[in-house]
Amino acid sequence: MVLAQGMAMMMWLLPVILGVATLLSCSGESAQVKTEESRGAESGMAPIEFAPPSWETIPGSQLGEQIRLGYQIVANTQEYASSYVGNRLNCTNCHLDAGLNPNAASFVGLAAVYPEYRTRNARVNTLADRINECMERSLNGRAFPPDSSKLQAVVAYITWLSRGVPSGATISWRGLQRIDSRRPLNAENGKNVFAGKCAFCHGTDGQGTMAAPPVWGPQSYTIGAGMARVTVAAAFIKSNMPRSWGWSLSDDDAYDVAAYINAQPRPDYPGKVRDWPKGGKPADSPY
């Protein structure tokens, strides 16, 4: 138990201790993407490999500096974008390994798919717009101004991670690998799974510990965040939680525990009144 806790803490603190050095090791490890049920619509194009560039390919120019800053903002949002964040989360808490993990809404290849039309706001979103959506909803913060050098840095980082991915390509690892629940949600089971498999790191009160960020309460994501939808949280949890033990929960347990954490109090998102203006609201939207 004590050893496991020590290891969990190391896993979480390592990127902080080693800084950018872990980027390299993470990219190697995360190359083991599950390919059987590739995500996203299939097109006639040959499949693109998950092959993020290695750290040494960052140019030693002004652009290279922007890319490194973008990485820092993603990995240590609390420090590098503190005036914009409204909770205790960092981008990398969900976009694991600073967006290099192919099982956790990876950033690799995204520059090739944006701009993209999205039904949530019924308009074409640039990559910068999409980053700001997570700033406001997932980090309960405020959007970077359009000319912000921090916003440009995150765009530069994601664009660098998308090198070699042709525009409009189908990215099989995009988003989260969705799962189905085959029976009605079981609230009691969700509570028990949380107590038995999550509270150890996230706290019995869900407010986070030294080993893991909060999953509900005032310092968590808002009800307007993607993670506040049960199907999205279940997919994330199934493939990534407990941290380092992805795919250890059954689909039903992942659904029940996702429903449990999303039934707890969390910040409101006042902008929700403008969502899905032309329809298309998903069935599991909490509002």
Closest CA to 161 of 21, 31, 38, 58: 58
Place of tokens 């701009």: 115
Using CB under 6 A, pick the residue from 23, 165, 198, 230 that binds ligand HEC: 198
Binding mask 164-193 for ligand HEC (x = CB under 6 A): ----------xxx----------------x
Using CB under 6 A, pick the residue from 12, 71, 173, 269 that binds ligand HEC: 12
Reading the block at residue 45, the tokens are 């194009």
Q: Give rounded-to-5 percent helix, strand, coil for the chain.
A: 45, 5, 55
Return the residues of window 211-270 that contact ligand HEC according to CB under 6 A.
211-215, 220-221, 225-227, 232-233, 236-237, 241-243, 249, 257, 261
CB 199 within 8 A of CB 215: no
| Phi, psi dihedral angles at 272 (to 5 degrees) | -60, -25
- Give the nearest distance from C-beta 182 to ligand HEC in angstroms: 19
- Give the nearest distance from C-beta 109 to ligand HEC in angstroms: 9
In the 3-class helix/strand/coil scheme, how is 30-96 assigned residue by residue?
CCCCCCCCCCCCCCCCCCCCCCCCCHHHCCCCHHHHHHHHHHHHHHCHHHHCCCCCCCCCCHHHCCC
89 binds ligand HEC per the rule CB under 6 A = yes
What distances in angstroms separate CA 31 from CA 18, 39, 89, 101, one per listed residue? 20, 16, 25, 8
AA identity, residue 137: R
Binding mask 129-148 for ligand HEC (x = CB under 6 A): -xx--xx--xx---------
- Part of the chain binding ligand HEC (CB under 6 A), chosen from 25-33, 159-167, 205-213, 268-276: 205-213
Binding site for ligand HEC (CB under 6 A): 8, 12, 74, 77, 89, 91-96, 105, 110, 130-131, 134-135, 138-139, 154, 174-176, 193, 197-198, 200-202, 211-215, 220-221, 225-227, 232-233, 236-237, 241-243, 249, 257, 261
